[in-house]
Amino acid sequence: MVASGIPATGNPSLEFDASLVRKLIQLGPRYTSYPTADSFSDAFSYRDYLQTVVGLRTRGGMWPLSLYVHIPFCESVCHYCSCNKVVTRDRSKAATYLSYLKHEIEMQGNLFAGMNQIEKLHIGGGTPTYLNDAQMGELMAHLRRHFRFASDFDGEYAIEVDPRTVTVERIHALRKQGFNRISIGVQDFDPDVQQAVNRIQSEQDTLNIIRAAREACFRSVSIDLIYGLPKQNVITMAQTLNKVINASPDRIAVYNYVHRPNMFKPQRRIDEDDLPSLDARLNMFSLCIRRLTDAGYVYIGMDHFAKPSDDLAIAQRQGRLHRNFQGYSSHAEHNLVAFGVSGISAVAATYSENAKTLDEYYERIEQNELPIVTGVKLSMDDLLRRIIIQMLMCNFELSIDSIELAYPITFKTYFAAELDKLHELEDNGLVTVDDEWISVTPKGRLLIRNVCMVFDRYLNTACEAKTGGASAKTETRPLRYTKKI
């Protein structure tokens, strides 16, 4: 029996309607960027990026920066994984990668000299803690040589951690190296589920790492879970949720597993007969919402929950929540500079993506060039649609007047086709639309992607292409910046 029309007790502005979700659920972009990565083109080059940074300097671009560093290595492969990774036990490969990474950091540091104040850093992967303690210390020291970091109080410095790769002592070392936020991959505590996805992870060891992060005074501890994995059911999910809630992390992300073995080779090792049915997945999702909100967590959006005292929840209440390649953020729209294989930078009105393979990444840097292979310059239409999607994803509402004040358009005319589609969603109870506001309903918040997709010109053009219109690419792969998509 699938739960339907269940209000989230701890959050009356959220309602899970299983029949509506089943009717309207569809694959779509997570909108950590707009346009999405599959709209990038190799027509955008390293030189375009250089011109963008020069233009930023000319305009006096003294706003703080965000940095992302991608460490692609893992010791073993998790069968559900869809991120850009290199599975190897040859530690010399990490040393080689670090030498090239340091060169890229130096080149970017020189480009941003004089406007290199950092308020946010995120190190992801792969498994960032594949680097040993000395290598991580070396990386952090090199970043600090080329960029000016805000104080520990003012800055947000995060790292993703696989509990299987660290000790309690390593957690304390990471804190001393400057990290003040930590994201810990759990996925599921059930041993049968862990066996099915090749991620054997001791419950006690994981809880010890969470406790160590508290003792080391990390400002925020985040836990990642996945529902829809093989061997999972409502009972195992409830048991995992109980253990996670008892550990009391500041943030909890509950990702939906998407099985696409034709695109991601590790997923071919999963027995499809072990995957839960759609009804079982919906029941697990409903359970997650109910248990987390009953435990006092606030629904931030998509698949993220946070304690009311967490920076994300505070930013949401104050209307300054932001979304970027790492997901939701309490920091404003800083320019993002990314390092490492497959890293995506967002500088001024551009996106630029690094080479996706180690060989091409190394080759570009050996030529003393940044390893940028694709990107896009945003048009005025892109910028307009990006801010609309951003507001909907973060605030669940959009002031039409605010858009007309910021852009030289008449909303009803410019978005006439989109408003027609919104009225269809309105008939399904996802949104309300009037002359001044577009508001996402409590039922619609769990289907926010459907609402945002209405404004995605690239996606809609691709749909038209199937019926004889112009062609365009859509996002058919997850963005690499979060490990568990």
Q: What is the CATH number of the domain that holds 4?
A: 1.10.10.920
7 in the same domain as 43: no
List of residues 6+ apart from 427 with CB closer than 8 A: none
At residue 8, the pLDDT reads 45
Q: What is the pLDDT of residue 12?
A: 53
> Does residue 425 form part of some domain?
yes
Do 424 and 315 reside in the same domain of the chain? no
Residues 411 and 443 placed together within one structural domain of the fold = yes
- The answer as to whether 83 is a domain residue is yes
At which residue do the structure tokens 């008939």 appear?
A: 427
User: Which pLDDT does position 465 carry in this prediction?
Assistant: 52
Domain containing residue 302: 34-337
**What secondary structure letter does DSSP report for 73?**
E
Q: What is the pLDDT of residue 482?
A: 32
CA distance 49 to 19: 46
Looking at the structure, tell me whether residues 306 and 442 fall in a common domain: no
DSSP state, 378?
Answer: P
Binding residues for S-adenosyl-L-methionine: 68, 125-127, 160, 187, 199, 224, 344
Looking at the structure, tell me whether residues 250 and 184 fall in a common domain.
yes
All residue ranges of the chain with pLDDT < 70 are: 1-12, 61-62, 332-333, 462-485
Looking at the fold, whether 386 and 237 belong to one and the same domain comes out as no
Q: How many domains does the structure of the chain reveal? A: 2
Binding site listing for [4Fe-4S] cluster:
74, 78, 81
- The annotation places the binding site at 68, 74, 78, 81, 125-127, 160, 187, 199, 224, 344
Which residues neighbour 364 within 8 Å (Cβ) at sequence distance 6 or greater? 46, 355, 370, 371, 372, 373
